[in-house]
């Protein structure tokens, strides 16, 4: 006789560490009308789109996800393992994406209209100049109290 109590099976869609599968992330983004396309797929590469013309990328390596996003006219690496956002120049973006691919990251392009955010509104009229690149959290503990410095200038 089957028991009405079933042992809960672990899900491949998420785990206790907070890791979500690409399927879960894709479905969550679909709610906002956004689509994920694998950056190095034949389908995407055949479009011959310069990465600077995109709006955002989601990157994954060994159960760690982070975003590279264009806010205003500037790109930012929003990796939570860094002490703060890292400004990425238009010329460096393609090289950075190639480096991530070389290191084994899966990269997905986010297509569609991203929801408005306050940072986007501010950075449309101001530009950021980064005085000091953020470091990996835990790297050089003596200087983490200094954090990162961003200067904002009006356009």
Give the architecture (CATH level 2) of 20-136.
Alpha-Beta Complex (3.90)
Cα diameter, the chain: 72
The predicted pLDDT at position 151 comes to: 55
Nearby residues of 76 by Cβ (< 8 Å), 6 or more positions away: 68, 69, 70, 85, 86, 87, 88
Contact at 8 Å (CB) between 57 and 78? no
The pLDDT tens digits for 51-65 are 999 999 999 998 899
Q: Where are the chain's structural domains?
A: 20-136
**CA distances to 37, 39, 40, 67, 129 from 47, in Å:** 12, 11, 11, 22, 32
Lookup: tokens for 107: 């990269």
66's enclosing H/E stretch is strand 64-71
Give the residue-averaged pLDDT of 121-146.
79
Residue 9: φ, ψ to 5°:
-85, 140
The mean pLDDT of 83-103, rounded to a whole number, is 96
Classified as helix, coil or strand, 70 is strand
**pLDDT of 144 over the 80 cut:** no
């Amino acid at each position: 006789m089957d028991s009405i109590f079933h042992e809960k099976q672990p899900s491949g869609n998420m785990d206790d560490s907070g890791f979500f599968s690409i399927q879960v992330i894709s479905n969550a983004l679909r709610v906002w009308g956004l689509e994920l396309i694998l950056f190095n797929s034949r389908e995407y590469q055949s479009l011959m789109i310069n990465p600077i013309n995109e709006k955002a990328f989601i990157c994954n390596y060994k159960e760690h996800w982070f975003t590279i996003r264009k806010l205003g006219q500037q790109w930012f690496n929003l990796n939570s393992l860094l002490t703060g956002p890292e400004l990425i120049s238009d010329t460096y973006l393609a090289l950075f994406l190639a480096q991530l691919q070389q290191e084994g990251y899966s990269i997905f392009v986010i297509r569609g209209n991203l929801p408005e955010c306050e940072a986007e509104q501010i950075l449309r009229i101001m530009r950021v100049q980064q005085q000091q690149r953020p470091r990996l959290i835990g790297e050089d503990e003596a200087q983490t109290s200094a954090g990162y410095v961003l200067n904002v200038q009006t356009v």
